[in-house]
A and B are shown apart, each in its own frame.
Chain A
Amino acid sequence: DAGVIQSPRHEVTEMGQEVTLRCKPISGHNSLFWYRQTMMRGLELLIYFNNNVPIDDSGMPEDRFSAKMPNASFSTLKIQPSEPRDSAVYFCASSTQGASFEQFFGPGTRLTVL
């Protein structure tokens, strides 16, 4: 298995532009998590899905952020419009709820908003 796949690995954009981050979870995993990591705030959970359904989006910072999971093998995190304070590393993770609690992280997307 290739593990959790994220794209792009690096994204540099200008303030006001739309940014879309993509994630492919490990096949067979039924839970997917989006995290944001910064030096100041650490590792923050933004939103998570169980069986493609959003369960808790209380960590989404504001309406500029949205996430979707149209099927079991794909999820997106969109920021529109982006701002410099959104600069961070965004991780996607997946797990099998009920069978194991371990979350497997993707390599992350380093986002820089100028």
Chain B
Amino acid sequence: GENVEQHPSTLSVQEGDSAVIKCTYSDSASNYFPWYKQELGKRPQLIIDIRSNVGEKKDQRIAVTLNKTAKHFSLHITETQPEDSAVYFCAVYKGSQGNLIFGKGTKLSVKP
């Protein structure tokens, strides 16, 4: 089955710096790669996603890059702000399975 590894497990940055979280996956048939943000005590919410026919996608301060050959994708947050502090989860979807496989999560702390 699919295996998703996420690194780092914790990340601390100064406000204004950039943050990068990386995920690797094992099944080359996977075709959809979302990122979810979970604030303390709240539900996971989708913040950005990318499909396998695209290499990069941006939405304001966040971007996701996908390297299908190497089977990894990354979340990039620029100009971090304290409200970016949360746990971020990557996930992988394979159409034939119909469900998402989540990484273990990265706790991001942005220090003012």
On A, residues with C-beta under 8 Å from B are 31, 33, 42-43, 45, 48, 50, 55-56, 91, 97, 101-103, 105-108
Contact = CB atoms under 8 A, between A and B. Distances in A.
Interface of B: 32, 34, 42-46, 49, 89, 93, 97-105
Contacts of A56: 97-99
B43 A107 contact: yes
Question: Which residue among A33, A42, A43 has the maximum number of chain B CB atoms within 10 Å of its CB?
Answer: A43
B43 A91 contact: yes
A81 B42 CA distance: 27
Question: Which residue among B93, B99, B101 has the maximum number of chain A CB atoms within 10 Å of its CB?
Answer: B99
A70 to B, nearest CB: 20
Given A42-B105, A101-B49, A106 B43 contact: yes
A84 B3 CA distance: 28
A43 B44 contact: yes
Report, nearest first, the 9 A-B pairs whose CB atoms are least far apart.
Answer: A105-B43, A42-B104, A43-B102, A101-B32, A48-B99, A102-B46, A105-B44, A101-B93, A107-B43
Contacts of A33: 99-100
A56 B100 CA distance: 12
A108 B38 CA distance: 12
A108 B43 contact: yes
A43 B99 contact: no
Nearest to A102: B46
